[in-house]
Structure 1
Amino acid sequence: MANDKKTATVESEEVVNDQEQPVTETETMEETETVEEVEITAQEQKIAELEAKLEDKENRLLRLQADFDNFRRRVKLDQEAAQKYRAQNLVTDILPALDNFERALKVNSEDEKILSFLQGMEMVHRQLAEALKTEGLEAIEAVGQQFDPHLHQAVMQVEEGEGESNTVLEEFQKGYKLKDRVIRPSMVKVKQ
């Protein structure tokens, strides 16, 4: 009987042990699943962080590329403008000499020597004007035109005279444009 009790106790312990073991395995499986879920969640968070960083870097790269393209375009426009108006300072310095040539050519004389001299001056003036024209210099039309403050500088206003109001009656000094830029406005008399 004592053996029977021992056997029954051993069998009960085995049954209890057998019952406890599956519970432990289930708990272990649940813990493993929880650990795996935590690891997956952590990995998803890490992936989300990395994706956010990648998106930020891509945005910065796009902005830098756009800034560089804008810089390149500005430099190109500046170079084109510099090339287009490279002669502006020279032309501006030469304009007073051109004006003096035109005033000198208005001299009237009967003397052959003076006429010959004026003819030579006229040839030099024509060559100079042609050279400046090839650089893009052109005279601003003034007499008979509507007054334009961008092209004309009114130094005198009169009420009498032919033409409509706000019309240029007389030009005192020629104005010039280099390509599309006014480098000196015409000095004019305007009818009110």
Structure 2
Amino acid sequence: MQVPLREVKLVTNEKDIVEEVVTEVENEQVEGATADTNSEEQLHSESVEVDELTLALNKVKELEDALDENENKLLRLQADFDNYRRRVRLDQEAAEKYRAQSLVSDILPSLDNFERALKVETNDEQMKSLLQGMEMVYKGLIEAVKKEGVEIIESVGQQFDPHLHQAVMQVDEPNVESNVIVEEFQKGYKLKDRVIRPSMVKVNQ
């Protein structure tokens, strides 16, 4: 039996339509699979970027902490160096200011001996001449140490000052105010503002 041409053509068209539908479905499946793959790759890429950003931020934080620590160390070092320079300067100033202290301390016993010798009373002309020579030497020494900043500490008639005087005896004299020095046994000396030796004194109660 022969199939009419029109019917064959219709069947052929229906077959073509089915094939087109199947092709479209397959293409959509492929596109969907590709889209899913791309989405997974995008998520993975974003996750990697987040991890890298986190690592970078942590590294920046570490570098900032290290920088702060180094800055603090530098500041402490600068402060220590400034303190060291200040101490050195003060030591140099003190050494310059009190450079004569050792020499003056060595001279004081000789000054004491001169003072005791000059208190000797004599009628002998030769001894008087000797004492006059000793007095000149004594005055020369006093002038020399005064040029270096040495001062004799005032005692008799002054209020007792434990920073300047050393009380070795006390008396009770009603005509003298309390805590006033009535007698000096040994002169005291200052080098500028530093006491080299306090005066040995007698103080009224």
> What are the superposed Cα offsets for residues 87-120 of structure 1, whole Å, 9 maximum, x if unpaired?
2222112111001111212223333322222222
Q: Does 1:123 align with 2:136?
A: yes
Superposed displacement of residue 166, structure 1: 0.8
User: Which amino acid counterpart does residue 178 of structure 2 have in structure 1?
Assistant: S
Aligned Cα RMSD in Å?
1.9
Cα distance change on mapping 1:161 and 1:141 into 2, 3 Å: farther
Query: CA–CA distance in 1 between the matches of 2:144 and 2:88?
Result: 29
Q: Aligned with 1:25: secondary structure?
A: helix
Q: 2:32: which partner in 1?
A: 19
Query: CA–CA distance in 1 between the matches of 2:174 and 2:104?
Result: 34
User: Which amino acid counterpart does residue 122 of structure 2 have in structure 1?
Assistant: S
Superposed displacement of residue 79, structure 1: 2.1
Give aligned-pair identity as a percent.
62
Rg (Cα) greater in structure? 2
Query: CA–CA distance in 2 between the matches of 1:115 and 1:182?
Result: 34
> What are the superposed Cα offsets for residues 157-189 of structure 1, whole Å, 9 maximum, x if unpaired?
111253201110000110111111111111111
Q: Aligned with 1:43: secondary structure?
A: helix
Q: Does 1:96 align with 2:109?
A: yes
Moved over 4 A (4+): 3-8
Superposed displacement of residue 82, structure 1: 2.2
Runs of 5+ consecutive residues of structure 2 not aligned to the other structure: 1-11
Runs of 5+ consecutive residues of structure 1 not aligned to the other structure: none
Stretch of structure 1 that moved more, 8-17 or 70-79? 8-17
Matching residue within 169, 173, 176 for 2:182: 169
Query: CA–CA distance in 2 between the matches of 1:98 and 1:31?
Result: 99
Matching residue within 87, 102, 109 for 2:122: 109
Would you say the 8 A contact 1:150–1:185 is kept in 2?
A: yes
> What are the superposed Cα offsets for residues 128-147 of structure 1, whole Å, 9 maximum, x if unpaired?
11111111211110000111
Alignment map for 1:147-166 (pairs within 5 Å): 147-160=160-173, 162-166=175-179
Would you say the 8 A contact 1:161–1:169 is kept in 2?
A: no
Aligned residue-pair number? 192
Q: 1:142: which partner in 2?
A: 155
Superposed displacement of residue 8, structure 1: 4.2
TM-score for the superposition, normalised by structure 2: 0.85
